[in-house]
Amino acid sequence: MAQEFVIQILEKEHYFTQHHIPLVVTQPSVTLDASCIRIQSKVLSLTANNISYAKLGFLFNWWDVYPLPPSTPSPFNDASRYGRICAWGFAEVVASTHDTVAVGSYIWGYLPTGTLPETLEVEKASGGHVAAINQHRRGLSAGYNRYKVYPASLKTAIEAREDSIAYDSLVRAMFSTGYLLNRFVFSQDQISPHMESSTSRTWSSEAADLSNALIFCLAPGSKTAMCFAHELRVTRAESTRLAHVVAVSSDLSIQFVKDSGEYSTVVSTSSDPMEVLKCIGGGHSTQSKVVLFDFGGRPGLAEKWASAISNIYEKFVLVKVGSGISETPSSDILAILARGERPSYETIQVNASVVRERVIAKIGSNIYFEGFEKDWATFKDSGCIKGLELTWGNGMKDLEKGWTALCSGKVEPSKGLVYSL
């Protein structure tokens, strides 16, 4: 029987431009090889992170996760110009030849943006996961190939659009970054994974120590920043809790950030860093450690704050987590990388998937996922990000509108875009 599916295709160099392409497929068109599952996306979400996948996809193989299907019409079948980007969420397993994944069950993970079923070759992994091992995905960092398996009974919650399903789709991956930063990268437990620093210093327990540090967060209303700030606030012992976690927010996000209660101080991006430092840093010597986390702030913001702070505080580090919402051609990014400019202050770049694998290599996946699931369940049960309003859309037409809104910078951080397909 012929069925019509829709996939989102982006212009690789102009990824704010999307094309939603209908594809007619006769199902089941091919039988599954051994150890394969065929999946169909059912719940997907959109955040600034999806834009990053398009912006940096050429560096991290993110365009290759779900290649253009052979039936893609011209000109969209030209993989040098067009491609597909993933979104986090749930997919239904519509066919399976793998022992541990039943037809009708669900997987959570890095999914194709569209309704077209896709085939994953999988192997069992620890912690209730399976890992995709398709040849074309072997260059990907392991986290993108790991899928958590849920029983068929999840269908009820998915169809009821329960908040928990939306949080898993929209926030779980971002929470995992905040969790890694708080529990491992900046941990005093001697289990910090190695982090590459611009100064080539070894990531020591001293580097990982945040006691008495001043923390600044850019794009503090982002899901990733909110999760990190929450973890900092609730999981650290009273004695090691941080005195100041300062949010530096744009006007679009500031009310949401203030109302969240996650930060001890909230200032505007238009504030003068020197004035803020005078007020906040008053009781701190210039020997204090200051860490600036950039969760994808507006252009030039990180550099402005990093220069100002590092002029005064010797022990300063900029932690680069995200990049703002922008359409930047790959040539511009390559030109920046080629210039290889090194600022005078220390920077570290976070790649959560790589960090997670390093942590797992140190403590084992069972311990890692047990700890993660516990913190994540507690966060969800407490209502997840305070003030986050879930807005459910229907199908690919609504997702198309969501992508356009996200690219235009009009989606307030309080709006959580989730789609049932």
Ligand X SMILES: NC(=O)c1ccc[n+]([C@@H]2O[C@H](COP(=O)([O-])OP(=O)(O)OC[C@H]3O[C@@H](n4cnc5c(N)ncnc54)[C@H](OP(=O)(O)O)[C@@H]3O)[C@@H](O)[C@H]2O)c1
Rule CB under 6 A: which residues touch ligand X?
Answer: 47-49, 52, 174, 177, 219, 221-224, 249-250, 252-253, 295-298, 321-325, 350-352, 409, 413
Closest CB to ligand X among residues 101, 319 = 319
Closest CB to ligand X among residues 101, 219 = 219
Q: How far apart are CA 223 and CA 176, in angstroms?
A: 11
Query: How is 233-254 classified by DSSP, letter by letter?
Result: HHHS-GGG--SEEEEEE-TTTH
Closest CB to ligand X among residues 122, 195 = 195
Minimum CB distance to ligand X, residue 379 (Å):
14
Minimum CB distance to ligand X, residue 143 (Å):
9
Q: Which residue is nearest to ligand X (CB)?
A: 322
**Residue 28, preceding peptide bond in cis (omega within 30° of 0):** yes
Q: Count how many Cα atoms sit within 13 Å of the Cα of residue 209 in the half-sphere of its side chain.
A: 10
Closest CB to ligand X among residues 175, 369 = 175
Q: How far apart are CA 253 and CA 410, in angstroms?
A: 11
For residue 99 the two structure tokens come to 């022992």
CB atoms within 10 A of CB 391: 14
**Residue 413, preceding peptide bond in cis (omega within 30° of 0):** no
Q: How far apart are CA 201 and CA 199, in angstroms?
A: 5
> For residue 394, what are the β-bridge partners?
420
Closest CB to ligand X among residues 76, 147 = 147
Closest CB to ligand X among residues 101, 352 = 352
Closest CB to ligand X among residues 113, 250 = 250
Minimum CB distance to ligand X, residue 254 (Å):
7
Minimum CB distance to ligand X, residue 361 (Å):
17
Closest by CA to 152, choosing from 196, 192, 111, 101, is 101
Minimum CB distance to ligand X, residue 406 (Å):
7
- Cβ atoms of 183 and 235 closer than 8 Å: yes
Minimum CB distance to ligand X, residue 365 (Å):
18
Minimum CB distance to ligand X, residue 55 (Å):
8
Closest CB to ligand X among residues 40, 323 = 323
Residue 31 DSSP label: P
Query: How is 256-278 classified by DSSP, letter by letter?
Result: HHHHH---SEEEETTS-HHHHHH
Left if phi > 0, otherwise alpha if psi is -120 to 50, otherwise beta: which for 212?
Answer: left
Closest by CA to 117, choosing from 18, 42, 15, 21, is 42
Minimum CB distance to ligand X, residue 415 (Å):
9
For residue 274 the two structure tokens come to 């020197």
